Structure 1
Amino acid sequence: MTTNLSDTTTWLPLDGLAPGFDANKAQPSSDLHGRTITIVDERGTRITHTFGPGEVTWTYEPGEGDPTEAASQTDACEVIRVDDDLYYAQFHHEYLPNEAVSLVLDLRGGHALAILSVIGEAAPGHTAVQQHFAPARIEGMQQTGEAPAPTNELIGRRALWVYSSQHAYEHVYLSPHWYSWQCLAGPEQGLADTDEQTTWRIRPGIYVFAWREKVIPCGSVTIADHRDQRSLRSHGVLFGVDEAGTGQTHFTFGAFGRLLSNTVHPAEYDPALQPER
């Protein structure tokens, strides 16, 4: 029987993808256990994080112009060491289950980037999962080097990502707004689409790459190390609506990869150089 790959109603729900997808995930790091790290954004909003084994206790103090209410809670948390003095923490709010936080902490440069993923309702021009990016400084540390910032540096690259012995995908980074993915192995084999993406540069060759899917109500945040083109490494999360449509699916993963090719556009047609519309 031939499968109709264009029939998106048959596509696998997010929780159906989860089993086995985390085989290449890095081991959690204990480096931050017992440490308290406070980040402060441009509004003066302060978020204090105290890390313990498998958890983080956080306190949110909104700054001027921040409509978010003050809050404090302890959530389950995974911390991954990405590079020397560079960590990625992932947690899912228990008190607001439609929200998940991805936190990048650069303890060398004193910089941070928080990404809030929020499940809502899909609408024309609006994916079900939205992502909000908040750069910040780490309180009590001197800020050195470049702060995290949006970048077009991945545009033109085509990369292979292997998540397990059964799961493999390729990504083509098309423009400041779009990327294409294709499943090469796994339960989604043969499926492909073009979705919204956002890329931030954390350090030279290390990027936060996040995407928001329109067919399956989900989004992903990854931190990807592209410094060695033959040996890429990424760590991330998939977060979205479960198959029943009433709950959330939140799971972390890791991938090994390599650069397959790089497209160099003539300057007059280069998507990275086109003005925003």
Structure 2
Amino acid sequence: MTTHTQPEWITVGALADGFASDNHILPALDDLKGRSLTLHFANGWLIEHQFGAETLHWQTADNDASGDAPYRASSIRPGIYLVDFLKQEDGRTHSVSLVLDLMHNLFTAVIGQMPTQAEAAVDLFSRALSGRELTAVSAQFLHGSIDSPFTPDTPRHAPTLELVGLRNQYIYSATEAYEHVYLNSNFYSWQCLEGVEQGLADTDRCHYYKVADQLYLFVWREKIVPTLGLVLIDLAAGKTDGKIFGYQGDDFSSAANFPVGALAYVLNRTEYR
């Protein structure tokens, strides 16, 4: 008699451990050290970011709020940086990821937040019946210009459907590999081909933005284990650069936020008639 074992869901902290060794993460850079960049948001926010070697200081234009945070900066293409850090506000941890295009002085900010334990405990059926998203993980997308006022004529990284229809394989390390199928403007499917989540699969809420030719910002929000994933996908170079944010354990007491990077392969493209 054959015994079938059920693949086990793990915490984001455990996922970080699985991704830790022999990986394809891009190196952290100190290119921004000593620089000050003022982000002019389309919604009217004005926030200055001063970069040190490992810590950045952010401050609003009216000096109403400020803070310091360790940050990580990486670059998947010349002139384009991903800056990632955690911000503590209102007693909660917020994920802040800045896609900085210094060649065109544009940026996209992704601000993510994990649900509380009570919010995560609401079952999927109740969320569906009440018209809410199935995932309790939130993400806000904000755009703007760098060191110059944002105007109606300022371009921005726009939503795109160019990834839809692709079936891609991502090799994160010697032991971790995943497959993505980009279904439509709101959802994608994933499965773990090899690694600590091997055998697991799901379809989750996602977002796509075009940063440059064959370079995309892809963000996903998982509903089973609260997770925010964010990667820049460079189809021309065949690689990705990003991070995964969630809870360290199952007690919702501390955050896990770790970099990821992968070799990217397009397996095929589906075109519907």
Give the CA RMSD over aligned residues: 2.1
2:48 aligned with 1:48, yes or no? yes
Secondary structure in 2 aligned to 1:17?
Answer: helix
C-alpha separation in 2, matches of 1:28 and 1:157: 29
C-alpha separation in 2, matches of 1:29 and 1:223: 16
Letter of the aligned partner of 1:17 in structure 2? L
Secondary structure in 1 aligned to 2:19?
Answer: coil
Instruction: Report the equivalent of 2:27.
Output: 27
- Tell me, yes or no, if the aligned pair for 1:57 and 1:73 is still in contact at 8 Å: yes
C-alpha separation in 2, matches of 1:227 and 1:141: 32
- Compared CA separation, residues 100 and 140, structure 1 to 2 (3 A): same
- Which of 214, 234, 237 lines up with 2:240 in the alignment? 234
- Compared CA separation, residues 55 and 209, structure 1 to 2 (3 A): same
Say which is worse superposed, 94-103 or 72-81, in terms of deviation.
94-103
2:136 aligned with 1:138, yes or no? no
Letter of the aligned partner of 1:130 in structure 2? S
Question: Unpaired segments of 5 or more residues in structure 1?
Answer: 63-68, 267-277
C-alpha separation in 2, matches of 1:113 and 1:259: 25
Instruction: Report the equivalent of 1:4.
Output: 6
CA-to-aligned-CA distance 1:1-53 (integer Å, 9 cap, x gap): 53124xxxx41111111114142111111111100011111222111111111
Instruction: Report the equivalent of 1:88.
Output: 82
Using structure 2 for the length normalisation, give the TM-score: 0.87
Instruction: Report the equivalent of 1:219.
Output: 228
Instruction: Report the equivalent of 1:74.
Output: 68
2:13 aligned with 1:15, yes or no? yes
2:273 aligned with 1:261, yes or no? no
Aligned residues: 253
Using structure 1 for the length normalisation, give the TM-score: 0.85
C-alpha separation in 2, matches of 1:105 and 1:77: 14
- Compared CA separation, residues 175 and 16, structure 1 to 2 (3 A): same
C-alpha separation in 1, matches of 2:85 and 2:66: 14
C-alpha separation in 2, matches of 1:118 and 1:12: 19
Q: Following superposition of structure 1 onto structure 2, how do residues 188-207 of structure 1 map, counting pairs within 5 Å?
A: 188-207=197-216
Letter of the aligned partner of 2:56 in structure 1? V
In percent, how many aligned pairs have the same letter?
33
- Tell me, yes or no, if the aligned pair for 1:109 and 1:142 is still in contact at 8 Å: no
Question: Unpaired segments of 5 or more residues in structure 2?
Answer: none
- Runs (4+) off by over 6 Å: 141-145
CA-to-aligned-CA distance 1:124-169 (integer Å, 9 cap, x gap): 1332211000011112389999520111110000111011100000
